[in-house]
């Protein structure tokens, strides 16, 4: 595999401009913040060409008093977390800092537990520098809190997976570091409804829900409390009283402090799919997914973010991880969402986004996006020469 390592965004733009004609023969490159010795491992086949942004890892501008920082896209999230910790600032991420690049975090826009209290990835991103696939260099947004000038293209780039261009720099919104942080795990039958945590429990800053249907275990939830010492202490006591009344097992756990990563250790060791039901359809959608997964031979785990209505399905079964196509029950789930808006089904409108999969799976995910999003992407591809194939870029 040939790896391109640009030293600057200008070098990257020059290379893209000179190589554009050859992309049709070699295929669009995989974009990664990792080195050549650790290439992305969750593609169908090893790519012939890769772009490593590992050299683009500088701090461009840091304004602690304004709660903003601008960094190059190749910086690791763990390194960014260390810089912010020394300044008494914080970027809301679940547990420890993820071992991925900043550009990968924005391009993938993963769902996190802190979406419940602090908002999704797009809320933290203020501006992006982009090298388009035709070699054009643009900047979208501004590194300020209130920015109402022009179209909010930055939100379109969050979760774009590199299809719209190569992200080289990102400006982020920061938060003061919380004085107290406590994390609890809950388990019990009442949690079969993931929204039960909003009925009587004290305000929570982060919530994630998990279930393994074939294991016949009660669902579990992980919750976090952050903020002032008095506020966190009072809410922790209220959470313990509420858990006792609801007959839930509760235990406090030590938050992760080191870098974490959800990426598989080696290719073909896990399969990850993501289904966005929305909060309105989450309960009904989860019931349908549990029913489907219970009949599978593979052991699947369901993780849900109640605040956003997103469910992630994971398995470490070798056979499932090695398949090149989505499992049949996921394909039929996609068919169910293609129905009319007047449908009374709980699945009237889920969107499937594949976090690990092949070209056919990503094509299905794109078809399930809203007509408005597809039209915006179509115009973008026509104007800037983006990637027409489903997924060939991965910053992770």
Sheet holding 125-131, edge to edge: 59-63, 68-72, 166-173, 125-131, 137-141
Mark residue 88 as left, alpha or beta (left: phi above 0; alpha: psi -120 to 50; beta: remaining).
left
Given a cut of 90, is residue 240 above it in pLDDT? yes
Q: What is the mean pLDDT of residues 121-131?
A: 90
Q: Compute the mean pLDDT over every residue in the chain, rounded to the nearest whole number.
A: 75
Q: What is the pLDDT of residue 36?
A: 44
Q: Could you tell me the pLDDT band of residue 205, with boundaries at 50, 70 and 90?
A: confident
Helices 359-367 and 328-337: crossing angle in degrees, nearest 10, is: 20
- Residue pair 328/292 in contact (Cβ under 8 Å)? The answer is no
d(CA 218, CA 226): 26
SS (H, E, C) the chain: CEEECCCCHHHHHHHHHHHHHHHHHHCCCEEECCCCCCCCCCCCCCCCEEEECCCCCCEEEEEHHHCEEEEECCCEHHHHHHHHHHCCEECCCCCCCECCEHHHHHHHCCCCCCHHHHCCHHHHEEEEEEECCCCCEEEEECCCCCCCCCCCHHHHHCCCCCCCCEEEEEEEECEECCCEEEEEEEECHHHHCHHHHHCCCCCCCEEEEEECHHHCCCCEEEEEEEECHHHHHHHHHHHHHHHHHCCCEEEEECCCCCCECCCCCCCCCCEEEEEECCHHHHHHHHHHHHHHHHCCCCCCEEEEECCCCEEEEEECCHHHHHCCCCCHHHHHHHHHHCCCCCCCCCCCCCEEEECCCCHHHHHHHHHCCCHHHHHHHHHHHHHHCCCCCCCCCCCC
The torsion angle over the Cα atoms of residues 291, 276, 260 and 80, rounded to 10 degrees, is: -170
Closest by CA to 313, choosing from 344, 360, 357, is 357
Nearest to 93, CA basis, from 203, 208, 263, 221: 208
Instruction: Quickly state the pLDDT bin for 390 (edges 50, 70, 90).
Output: very low
- What pLDDT is attached to residue 241? 93
* Residue in the block written with tokens 């090149």: 324
Q: Using 50, 70 and 90 to split pLDDT, how confident is the model at 248?
A: very high
In the chain the domains, ranked by start, together with CATH numbers, are 1-177+370-396 (3.30.465.10), 180-253 (3.30.70.600), 271-357 (3.30.70)
Q: Quick one: tokens of 30?
A: 């995989």
Residues 6+ apart with CB under 8 A from 142: 126, 127, 149, 171
Q: If you average pLDDT over residues 268-282, what whole number do you get?
A: 70
pLDDT at 341 over 60: no
| C-alpha of 267 from chain center | 19
What is the C-alpha separation between 294 and 244, in angstroms, rounded?
30
Instruction: Round to whole Å and give the CA distance between 392 and 394.
Output: 7
| pLDDT band at residue 185 using 50, 70 and 90 as cut-offs | very high
């Amino acid at each position: 595999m040939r790896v391109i390592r640009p030293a600057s965004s200008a070098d990257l733009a020059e290379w893209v401009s000179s190589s554009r004609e050859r992309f049709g023969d070699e295929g669009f490159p995989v974009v990664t913040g990792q080195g050549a010795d650790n290439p992305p491992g969750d593609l169908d086949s090893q790519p012939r060409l890769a772009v490593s942004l590992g050299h683009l890892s500088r701090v461009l501008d840091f304004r602690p008093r304004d709660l903003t920082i601008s960094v190059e896209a190749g910086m690791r999230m763990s390194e960014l977390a260390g810089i912010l910790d020394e300044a008494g600032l914080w970027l809301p991420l679940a547990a420890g800092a993820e071992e991925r690049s900043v550009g990968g975090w924005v391009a993938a826009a993963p769902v996190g537990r802190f979406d419940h209290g602090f908002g999704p990835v797009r809320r933290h991103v203020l501006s992006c520098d982009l090298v388009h696939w035709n070699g054009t260099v643009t900047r979208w947004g501004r590194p300020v809190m209130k920015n109402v000038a022009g179209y909010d293209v930055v939100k379109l780039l969050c979760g774009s997976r590199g299809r719209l261009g190569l992200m080289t720099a990102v400006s982020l919104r920061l938060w003061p570091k919380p004085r107290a942080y406590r994390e609890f795990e809950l388990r019990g039958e009442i949690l079969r409804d993931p929204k039960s945590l909003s009925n009587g429990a004290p305000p929570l800053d982060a919530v994630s829900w998990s279930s393994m249907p074939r294991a016949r275990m009660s669902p579990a939830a992980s919750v976090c409390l952050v903020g002032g010492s008095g506020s966190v202490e009072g809410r922790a006591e209220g959470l313990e009283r509420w858990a006792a009344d609801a007959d839930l097992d509760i235990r406090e756990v030590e938050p992760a402090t080191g870098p974490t990563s959800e990426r598989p250790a080696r290719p073909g060791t896990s399969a990850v799919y993501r289904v966005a039901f929305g909060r309105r359809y989450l309960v009904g959608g989860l019931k349908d997914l549990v029913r489907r997964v219970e009949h599978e031979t593979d052991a699947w785990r369901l993780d849900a973010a109640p605040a956003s209505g997103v469910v992630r399905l994971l398995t470490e079964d070798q056979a499932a991880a090695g398949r090149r196509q989505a499992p049949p029950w996921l394909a039929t789930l996609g068919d169910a969402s293609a129905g009319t808006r007047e449908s009374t089904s709980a699945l009237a409108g889920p969107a499937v986004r594949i976090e690990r999969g092949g070209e056919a799976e990503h094509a299905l995910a794109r078809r399930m996006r809203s007509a408005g999003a597809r039209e915006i992407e179509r115009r973008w591809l026509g104007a800037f020469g983006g990637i027409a194939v489903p997924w060939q870029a991965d910053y992770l």
